[in-house]
Amino acid sequence: MTTTVGAPERLEFKTELKQLLDLIVHSLYTKQEIFLRELISNAADAIDRVRYEALLKPDLLDGDSDWKIRLIPDEKAGTLTVSDNGIGMSRDAIVENLGTIARSGTREFLERLRKAEAKDRPEMIGQFGVGFYASYMVADRVTVLSRTAGAAKTDAVRWESDGQGEYTVEPAEREARGTDVTLHLRDDAKDFLQSWRLREIVKRYSDFIEHPVVTEVENEVEGKKTTEEQTLNSRQAIWLRPKAEIKEQEYKDFYRQVSKDFEDPQKTIHLAAEGTMEFRALLFLPARKPFDFYWREPKSGVQLYVRRVMIMPDCEELLPGYLRFVKGVVDSSDLPLNVSRELLQHNPILARIRTSLVTKVLKTLEEMKSGEPEAYLKFFHEFGTVLKEGISQDPGNRERLADLLLFETTKQEAGKPTTLAEVLGRLPAEAKEIPYLIGETRAQIEHSPVLEGYRARGEEVLLLTEPIDEFLIESLGEYKGKTLKAADRGESAGDKAAAEDAKKKAESEGYKGLLEHLASKLPDVKEVRLSARLKESAACLVADEGSMGAYMERLMRRMGRSGDAPPAKRTLELNPEHAAVQGLKRMFETNREDPRIETVAGLLHDQAVIAEGSKLKDPAP
């Protein structure tokens, strides 16, 4: 795109942004003040970014590292400006950042925002990371003047919009690196020009921000009017203060700042390690997962500080991926300030901090599980899926993690999951297996014919319904010496003797010919045999031990990966006690060419396909 100097370029907001702005304008009435928190947070991010980039390219700073976020109310013009000396934005960056929402999950987000009550919307906007637009709760026009680090004075850019669907960008000048966001306040939002009001909001929402948030106040000294710069935030690093001095509310406020969550945390963990390793950590377990938890890239929720200076907003090295729901800060005094991302990767100090954080988080979860089972259940409901990743990610804590998992089983009411330890407690001492069945929903697998044998023997079966469960079972393999055994694969220990009997029965009672005949008529099955596991149903499908189960097969297909592993044919098992199967045998004995045999067999097969939760290949029209 070419720009004629001086002529503002008119551009349209992307559709989703238009819809968002429309919603924001209709959420005007409550919590308007959070716009300031969002703008201050953007300014602080911009400062952190230029400071970080300058580690490698010190020239970017141009001699200015007096980090500051200025609030400039202008009574006459009716504007409030938030100004920073952060990284700034180029023309393209400004179009990209303020003209589009280039994020997955946006459509879902808008859907939820629309359904949410107006009073919850402002916070949701901040949480989703579109905080800049909160400006339109108080302003009918917003002007952004920005000069990116390393650009010339005349290479700045001015962006402006009334939030009605279009914005303009044009070349501009700015004395130094940084960004000014100027809000043209609506008439009903003029109180945001008052310095007491600004101080109150900063105290409430941005007190812990590391960089000074300043404003000019007028003073009268001996009849002479002077202005003085005042810092509005205390910049106190709450994590460095002794626990006993910190009020519950302070923790909560801080949590909201680091997490962007608008609920209180479920658990607060404040750690001070001294001696050979010195660090402080203030971590939180959220009460609920952020609504975009599964859409956005998995990111660590822990910020790394070195002696009060933020080094990295999402430090992967501090906690393993399966604990990415944990939010908070870690401050180390043993790391150098100019540590780069590369240096952090195999850093022994971080590795030790990580070990102790993981231990502490797992311990907190263990205490919650035994001391507050209700709260733990709630936690697991929100984050259990992620925790399960730990079984393969963190072999060193495998046992502890296995004990933290909760499972639905055939002996538990739905919604009241149990632990493996409890299942083990109910297992007869001589049992060698813990059976499980995987499928899409509990309702579907609970009625699977493959469970009939287990039910008849009173054996408990784990009912697994999450995509990750296949992988979980694969990496877990066993629990305290008991093998985790797929109920729809191979033979269960309890069925072994019965399976032998079934084989003999097939031989002696003349089923053999029928079974072979059916196998030849049903090209989708590997084998047809008499079942030892069926008690009520006529037929079921089972996979071979070690081959892919029906659920995994469907999962792969959904992921478009069925080409990687062509589906293995399954075995069709028939229940010799069932009238339909007995009828089939009689037909076969009377006239093996009877065309009804194929029809009935086909029906039994289709029934079994549906029972395992799969779709019929070629459903009758």
Q: 39 vs 539, which CB is nearer to ligand ADP? A: 39
Given a contact cutoff of 8 angstroms between Cβ atoms, the answer to whether 53 and 87 are in contact is yes
Q: Which is nearer to ligand ADP, 14 or 400 (CB)?
A: 14
Query: At closest approach, how far in Å is the CB of 315 from ligand ADP?
Result: 18
The span of 35-43, 367-375, 494-502, 608-616 binding ligand ADP (CB under 6 A) equals: 35-43
**Given the complex with ligand ADP, which of 179 and 409 has the nearer CB atom?**
179
Nearest approach, Cβ of 96 to ligand ADP (angstroms)?
8
On whether the CB atoms of residues 509 and 460 are closer than 8 A, the answer is no
- Pick the binder of Mg ion from 131, 178, 301, 449 (CB under 5 A): 131
Binding residue for ligand ADP, selected from 32, 179, 418, 537, defined by CB under 6 A: 179
Q: Strand 482-486 to strand 433-438: parallel, antiparallel, or no bridges (unpaired)?
A: parallel
> In the numeric block, which tokens belong to residue 101?
């929402």
The answer to the question of residue 89 lying near ligand ADP (CB under 6 A) is yes
Q: How far is the CB of 389 from ligand ADP (least distance, A)?
A: 25
Smallest distance from the beta carbon of 167 to ligand ADP, in angstroms?
Answer: 13
**Strands 79-84, 139-147: parallel, antiparallel or unpaired by DSSP?**
unpaired
Q: Which does 575 bind (CB under 5 to 8 A by kind): ligand ADP, Mg ion, none?
A: none
User: What are the phi and psi torsion angles at 181 (to 5°)?
Assistant: -110, 115
Asked if 257 interacts with ligand ADP (CB under 6 A), we say: no
Tell which one of 129, 313, 467, 567 touches ligand ADP (CB under 6 A): 129
The DSSP letter of residue 615 is P
Q: Three-state DSSP class for 517?
A: helix
d(CA 258, CA 508) in angstroms, rounded, equals 72
Residue whose CB is less far from ligand ADP, 150 or 467: 150
How far is the CA of 188 from the CAs of 29, 136, 202, 473, in angstroms?
10, 13, 20, 59
Q: Does 84 bind ligand ADP (CB under 6 A)?
A: yes
Beta-bridge partners for 82: 71, 181
Rounded CA separation 88/99 (Å): 16
Question: Which one of 26-34, 128-136, 166-174, 207-215 is the stretch in contact with ligand ADP (CB under 6 A)?
Answer: 128-136
The residues in 3-32 that bind ligand ADP, with binding defined as CB under 6 A, are none
Give the residues across from 270 on adjacent strands.
282
Residue 137 engages ligand ADP in binding (rule: CB under 6 A): no
Q: Which stretch binds ligand ADP (CB under 6 A): 37-45, 265-273, 319-327, 502-510?
A: 37-45
Interface with ligand ADP, residue 376, by CB under 6 A: no
Residues 20, 21, 36, 87: which binds ligand ADP (CB under 6 A)? 87
268 binds, among ligand ADP, Mg ion, none (CB under 5 to 8 A by kind): none
Query: In the bound complex, what is the minimum distance in angstroms from residue 118's beta carbon to ligand ADP?
Result: 20
Count of positions on this chain that bind Mg ion (CB under 5 A): 2
Nearest residue to 162 (alpha-carbon basis) of 70, 43, 25 = 25
Q: Could you tell which of Mg ion, ligand ADP, none binds residue 368, using a CB distance below 5 to 8 A set by kind?
A: none
- As a whole number of angstroms, the distance between CA 377 and CA 412 comes to 14
Using CA atoms, how far residue 308 sits from 263, 303, 304, 312, 352, in Å, is: 26, 11, 9, 12, 20
Question: Site mask, Mg ion, residues 24-43, x = CB under 5 A?
Answer: ------------------x-
Nearby residues of 306 by Cβ (< 8 Å), 6 or more positions away: 331, 332, 333, 335, 336, 337, 339
Contact by Cβ (8 Å): 163, 153? no
Judge residue 11's burial from the number of C-beta atoms within 10 Å of its C-beta, 0-12 exposed, 13-18 middle, 19 or more buried. Answer: middle
Nearer to ligand ADP, 144 or 326 (CB): 144
Interaction partner, residue 89 (Mg ion, ligand ADP, none; CB < 5-8 Å by kind): ligand ADP
Q: Which is nearer to ligand ADP, 132 or 205 (CB)?
A: 132
Nearer to Mg ion, 35 or 551 (CB): 35
**Binding test (CB under 6 A) with ligand ADP, winner from 97, 236, 364, 547:** 97
**Least distance to ligand ADP, CB of residue 486, Å:** 44
* From 36-44, 279-287, 402-410, 558-566, span contacting ligand ADP (CB under 6 A): 36-44
Rank residues 148 and 397 by Cβ distance to Mg ion and give the closer one: 148
The 3-state DSSP composition of the chain as helix, strand, coil percent (nearest 5) reads 45, 20, 35
The partner in contact with residue 298, picked from Mg ion, ligand ADP, none with C-beta cut-offs of 5 to 8 angstroms by kind, is none
Is residue 131 within the footprint of ligand ADP (CB under 6 A)? yes
Window 38 to 77, contacts with ligand ADP (CB under 6 A)? 38, 42-43, 46
Tokens, residue 260: 């962007």
Query: What SS3 string covers 2-42?
Result: CCCCCCCEEEECCHHHHHHHHHHHCCCCCCCCHHHHHHHHH
546, with CB counted inside 10 A (0-12, 13-18, 19+), is exposed
130 binds ligand ADP (CB under 6 A): yes
**Sheet of 213-221, strand order:** 9-12, 166-172, 156-161, 139-147, 178-185, 79-84, 69-74, 213-221, 224-231
Q: How many residues bind ligand ADP (CB under 6 A)?
A: 16
State the nearest-atom distance from the C-beta of 129 to Mg ion, in Å. Answer: 6
Q: Which is nearer to ligand ADP, 88 or 494 (CB)?
A: 88
Q: What is the C-alpha to C-alpha distance for residues 616 and 432, in angstroms, rounded to an integer? A: 35
Residue nearest to ligand ADP (CB): 129
Cβ-proximal residues to 30 (8 Å cutoff; 6+ apart), any chain:
118, 119, 122
User: Residue 161's binding partner, choosing from Mg ion, ligand ADP, none, with beta-carbon cut-off 5 to 8 A by kind?
Assistant: none
Rounded Cα gap, residues 372 and 20, in angstroms: 40
Binding site for ligand ADP (CB under 6 A): 38, 42-43, 46, 84, 86-89, 97-98, 129-132, 179
Binding site for Mg ion (CB under 5 A): 42, 131
